[in-house]
Structure formats: structure tokens, C-alpha cells
Structure 1
Amino acid sequence: MTYNKDIRERIIETAIERFNHYGVEKTTMAEIIQSVGISSATMMLYFSNKIELITEIVKHTLQTERDLISRLIPKGMRVLPSIYKLLEIRERTRGKYHQTQLVYGYDGVYSGLPESVLAVIKSADVKQLTLILRRGLKSGELKEFPLQRVAALYAELLYGLNLGANARICRITLSDCYSSEEIVEKQKEISKILINGLRHPITPVTADLNKELIASPFG
């Protein structure tokens, strides 16, 4: 049995179609094998289980993002336009998976993804933001701040908006139900506020609290 790149691509495309229609958890490898029209032995040559297949889809998506970031966000671009472009790239690459539960599943959690794959996604999100924020620091557009910590918090903030506004789970949140395009616009609004704040020196939170306590008439 020889390795065939076209078969591999067909397996991935078929899996995405079925994930979109039925969701990750309800799609079995047997169903994918039947839809592709191959044997179980042939499938084993490419993917031994569903987790391997999902992992490959995620990694391929993130690689596509990296390629687009490298091509569409030049080093000289200012921070906020770079962030906007990054959010648009993410929507372009991940948007086609909105119904697969590879992005968000029912009850607002990643569905069917192991911790190892989640770690890959979260790490990529932080690295993408870190790259842009570091450029802003080097150019002097942004003031000094703890880069890694801010990037990680920023990634969590963007993720939280996407999670809270997801149409499948908004029934248990205070958020409205937004389309994917509306979510990106909300993320851009948040980004504008955050980046404008990083253009000024950051005062330690404890110092601010101490000043408020001293000035408070109830202290």
C-alpha cells in the first residue's frame, strides 16, 4: 500500500464536511472511511484515530495562519492595523470550522479536543499576539510592559468574547448572540482600547489602589 497525498486530502476534506454537518463528537472514523470510499487499512496509513485527524486539521489551520500573517502583516505596519489584520486572518482560516465544534462546542467548550491540541491552539494565539506587540515595543509605538503576561491576558480576553457571544451558548450568558463577523468587530473594539492603553506607561495596580485608599473618605 503506497502513500497517496490526494487520498490524505480527501480524508481531511470529508472529515471537515462531516464535522460541519454532524459535529465532532457524533462523527465516527467508520463514517469518514465509508464517505471517502477507502478501507480501514488504508485509513490507518494516514490517521490511526480521530484525534490524529483532528490534530492535523488544527495544525494545518495554524500553519495557514502563520503563512498569511507573514505575508499580510509586514514588520513596519503599526500595531492596531496589525491586530485588525490578525483578527481578519483568524476569521478567514477558522471561520469555516465554526459549525464543526473544532472552534467552540456546545456549552462553550472545545469539543472532542485533547489537552495537547488545546495547548497548541492557545500557544499559537499567544505567539501571534506577542509577535505584534513586540514589534510595537521595538518601534517605540508602545511603552514598556510585561510582554508575555499581557499577550497571554489579551489572548484570554479575545477568547472570552468569542466564547461568551457564541450563538450556541449565549442562552446561559449575559451576551447577545453575534455572528462571526460581529464578534470580530467587537474584538477590534477591545483591541483598540487595549492598544491605546499600552501607548502609555503602565502604573502598577497596587500603587493605584493605595492612592485610592489614601484619598478615600471611607479609609
Structure 2
Amino acid sequence: MAQDQKQSAIIEAAIKRFAHFGVSKTTMTEIATDLSLSKASLYYYFPDKLSLYAAVFQTITEAGAAEHEQELANEGNPFKAIAYFLERRTEFIIKYHNILEYLRTFSPSNIPAELQPVFAQLKKRELQRLTSIIEKGVKAGLFRIKDSKKTAELFFDFLEGFRTSFLLNTPNFFPDKKQFQVILKKELEFAVIFFNGLTIEKE
């Protein structure tokens, strides 16, 4: 098996283990055993669980983005596109809840170096999606906006701020699946208010 194939196989095995048992309850030995690899071979590709987790996190976020990219691009109605974006975002979190829950190990101020570029790329991708949706509304004559990118950043920051506020009022750092549905409902309500405020009134 080629090196790239072996690395991909390790990541896929880790995704299955992490998704089923959770990251904390999975050992590197178990992942090596699943693939009939020696621990030395596994550690050659990933020196510790955190580096493997970073690769898993990057893989699932990239796959999640690609899965609905075309449908989002084809949606011409910006209001429906925003709702679609938020709904798919929540579906992704619920689908990989056992994997993403591990993030509660860290706070925003102490994110490990291994995860920082993954978070940076994720934020960049989401801002690009939001900017594209807003630009559709501008081109269609629906929104009165001078700077689509800055508006996307503002909307994104409000979403992040809302989630932070929600988390401060919950006993767990990482919400459970039902709580994410509550968050989604409020995000959708906020999106309607936010973008209605930018809509050009038709005479």
C-alpha cells in the first residue's frame, strides 16, 4: 500500500472509531489493530492522537463542504441559500457529534497548533460561502449592501457570538444534539431579521 493510501486508511479508520466510541475512549493501539498495523507504523504517520485528530477534523470538514457545494451554488434565492447553509452546518455537527465533542477539551485561547490551520481554513471557507450568497442577493437587486465580504464577516461574527452566549448558559461546553437544534432555530430566526434589514423595499 502506497504511503498516501496508508495515511488515508488510518484517517478513515480513526473517523469510524472516533464517531462510534468518541475520541477520548479510542486509543491509537485500537486504530492500529483495526488496520493490522504495528504501533510504530501508525506513529510514523501520526506521532500522537492530537495530530491524527487534526487530520480527521480536516478530512470531515472538507468532505462536508464538498458534499453540498453544488446544491448551495445552484440555489438562486439568497434567503433559501442562507437557511440551507445553516441547516447543513447543523446536520454536519450532529452527524459527527462524537468527533467534534472532543473540541470541548480546548478553549478558544488555547487551541493547539495542530488545529489552528484547520480552524483558519474552515472559517475562510464559511466566509466565502456567506459572501457568495450575499453577492447573489446584491446582483438580484434584493440587498442594499456596499461590501458583501464585510457583511458576511459581520453575520459570521454574530453567529459565533450567539453560540458563545448560548454556551455560557449551558452546563456543558459542547452542546448535545437537541441543543444544537435549538441553536439552529435561533440562527434561522436571526438570519431572517438580519437579511430582511438589508432588503430593498419594492415600491
Identify the TM-score tier after normalising by the shorter chain: 0.7 to 0.9
| Superposition deviation, residue 64 in structure 1 | 2.5
Q: TM-score of the superposition, structure 2-length normalised?
A: 0.74
The structure number with the bigger radius of gyration is 1
RMSD: 3.6
Match of 2:150 in 1: 149
- The 5 A counterparts of 1:32-71 are 32-34=31-33, 36-44=35-43, 46-71=45-70
Cα distance in 2, alignment partners of residues 105 and 17 from structure 1: 18
Matched, 1:131 2:142: no
CA–CA distance in 2 between the matches of 1:39 and 1:117? 28
1:116 paired with 2:133, answer: no
- Equivalenced residue count is 197
> What is the CA deviation profile of residues 105-131 of structure 1, one whole-angstrom value per residue up to 9, with x for unaligned ones?
158658656322221222222122111
CA contact (8 A) 1:62 1:124 kept: no
Q: CA deviation at 1:197?
A: 1.1
CA distance in 1 between counterparts of 2:38 and 2:63 reads 30
Over the matched positions of the two proteins, sequence identity in percent amounts to 21
5+ long unaligned stretches in structure 1: 202-219
Is contact 1:10–1:36 with CA below 8 Å preserved after alignment?
yes
8 Å Cα contact 1:75-1:135 kept in structure 2 = no
Equivalence for 1:161: 162
Distance 1:122 1:3, change over 3 A: same
**Counterpart residue identity of residue 72, structure 1:** E
With normalisation by structure 1, the TM-score equals 0.69
Q: CA distance change for structure 1 residues 106 and 46 in 2, over 3 Å: closer, same or farther?
A: closer
Partner of 2:12: 12
Greater Cα offset, 32-41 or 144-153: 32-41
Deviation at 1:61, TM superposition (A): 2.6
5+ residue gaps in structure 2?
A: none
Distance 2:10 2:95 in 1: 17
